[in-house]
Structures are given as structure tokens and as C-alpha cells.
Structure 1
Amino acid sequence: MPTSNDIPDVLDRREGPHGEVVLRRHGERLEIIANGCFLMDTSDGRSERRLVDAALEALTGRTRPDVLIGGLGVGFSLAHAAADTRWGGITVVERESAIVEWHLGGPLSEISDRALADPRTRIVEADLVAYVNETSDTYDALCLDIDNGPDWTVTEGNGNLYREAGLASCARVLRPGGVLAVWSAQASPEFEETLRNAGFQQVRTEEIPVARGVPDVVHLGIRPG
């Protein structure tokens, strides 16, 4: 017989331009569900933090590099970036206004409060696919975590981002020698090849052990100088 901890408690449910997003509490962890698809929770976070660290480590000889984080999520990547004084500007693009609100005084503020108060932090409410096509801003690093990986997107339109044309848009917002870091729930050799075909160099995949299931990974590539 299920206990109360086995049944998630829905804290908020919103309908937006991209469908339904839900925030729920399941025991001690908070979970984000998009269109019925589990996105992430607050149970671990080591791979989201590693996404940011791997990007910084791939940048050599830069002082106070600027980072663009694609997807606010539960806030692990933002909080980790803001806790590191080596980063310069920290811009987060999030298309779901509900998620932003859950951080601004909502249940997820316990993770992101300090980061959001950091003067380096800027939140942009926009679709990342459109943003990388339209913005005139450029960055030293793009940390991409808006899906469960290149092969498991939250919405169909996101799939274009992981093809050569979409990766060209990612390269467009990167300064020469900038790094693209892509979070994924599983490795994708096909995506590695697409990164190379799109002109990225030093392409590699790093595995991150997690508490449950197969390792998460970060795919990395450098825009040529």
C-alpha cells in the first residue's frame, strides 16, 4: 500500500505556449514535469553542476568569461555558476514563465535565491532556439540543458537545435574559441559526429555518475578561433 511519500504532491500546474508544466513535491525532492515528461528534480544535481565546470575548464586563458545557460530548470547550474567567482556575466534563458516564478520567491528559491541576487546574473524569458538565432550578444560558453538530451527533446521544435543548422546558431553566439557544453541523460555518438560536422573542434563526451540509473553525460565542443 503506497505511503504519502510515494504520491507526489502537485504544487503548481500551468498551461503555457509550449504546453503544460507542473511543479510537484515527491518526498523531499521537487520535480518539474513538462507535457507529462519528467525533466529534472532536486535529488542530485551533480551532472548539472559538472556541465558548468566542464565548460569553464575547457576555456583556457580567459579572465572572467561570460556564460549563457540554456534552461533554468531547478536552478542547479545557475547556482553553481554564481558560486564561482571566476565567471563574469551569467545569463540564463528560460522560456517558461512559470519556472521563473517558481524561483522568484517560489518553492525553488531555496536553490537559486543567492544566485538571482548576484549582480552578474541576468534572466531572459525567451525560447532558446529563437534566442540563439536572433540575439546580438555573444558569450564565451553556452551550457545547454533544455531537454533530456539530443535524442530526447521536450518539444519537437527543440530537435532542430541539435542538428547542424541549430549548432551553427549555437556557434554564432559563441566567441572564437568558445565552448558548447550539452547535458544529456545518455551518450549520443551520433550527436558527437554532428558536432564535428558543424565545425566544432576537440569534441568529446564526459560521463558523470549519478545516484540512479545510467550515467549522465556532457557533450563538449570548441568553436574554432
Structure 2
Amino acid sequence: MGRQDIEELKRLLYFYQKLGFSHLPIKKEALRNSKMDEKTLDSLREKIGDCKRCKLYKNRHNVVFGEGSINAELMLIGEAPGREEDLKGRPFVGSAGALLDRLITKMGFKREELYITNIVKCRPPHNRDPESDEIEACNPFLMEQIEIIEPRVIMTLGRIAAHTLLGVNTSITELRGKVFDFKGIKLVPTFHPAYLIRNPKAKWLTWSDAQLVLKLLDKKL
């Protein structure tokens, strides 16, 4: 790249900066080999396979790996699969999933445009919180998913997801509404949809968090 090219690039960057862009408006899929990434994600799914790395395998019906677009700019990370997710092998398909789908639509997305997964991939008995050894066993898989997807923003759903990625033990009410950094990725914690079913008055707070995510993505409603 010659001096003239560099100066032209500087002018282009300055132009977009003045327009209010935080990054160049280039579609993510134009900058990556999606087929290669899909193969890598499929390889990770196969690696998990019939996982027996922790005790959760004893009662599961399916490993709930995650689903969505390999080019997702927004990644949603929950805590653990529930009964419906365990039976169907898909994340967020129960009543909490229905509420999450409404939030996704309200944000202007289609579910298939995002990537959705959980901290652990197997259902804890009686829907209890995942334990530390279970989270530790699954964590390498989650880290690989994040590396493959390379989202611009992560939205964690619930305290366990936030605690796991941020390495803190602060209450979700204190964490939500703020932007954190996770390995160079913007991270916004919010409530789990299951919590919102029990506490519907908190829905407006989650919508506020969603609007913060949209701002980080330079996306207008």
C-alpha cells in the first residue's frame, strides 16, 4: 500500500467517523470465510458429541449446542437448557424462549440472524443453577463458540452467564445497564427471560438494555 492509498484510507475513515460510525459499514460476512467457520463450528459440535465431561450427561436427552448465524453481530448467552430445550436440543424454545423471541423481534432482528447459546449445554436436574464444575467443564466449548462467531456485542441473559464471562459475583441488578469488555467484545448483561416471567415489571429494564445493545451495533429501530 503506497502513501497515496494510505492518505485515501485516512480520508475515508475520517468521513465515516464524522458520520457517527464506530466502525466501517462493511458486512461481516464480506470479511470472513463463512464456509470455513461453519465447518469449524460443526467440528466443535462433533467434538462435544456424546459429552460426559460432567455429571449433567446422566439425565439429559440432548446436548443443546446453540444455533444461529455464523455471521451474527449479536450473540445471546443464557445459563442452561430447560426441560423443553433438553427435549428438542435447541436453546430457548420454552416459555422463556417465547419471551426472548418477542424481544428479538422488537429489536428489529430475526432469530436466525443472531447466535444463541448457553453457558452449559446440558440441562441441570430440576432446572437448578449449573454448578461450578459443570460450568468449568463446558467453558472451553463456549469460548470456542465466541471465537468462531466473533460477535460485535454479547448480551448475557441472567446472573450466571454474566458472572461466568465477567468473573464477578455482583448482582445482576447492579451489572445490567452497563457495558463491559470481554476480550475486545462489548458485553451487556441483562435479566434472564425466565426471571421476567416471574417479575414482569422488570421488562422495561431489559428493553432499556436491549436499546443499549442496539446503540452499540449502530442499529436504529
The reply to whether TM is greater than 0.5 is: no
Higher relative contact order (CA 8 A, sep 6+): 2
TM-score relative to the length of structure 2: 0.29
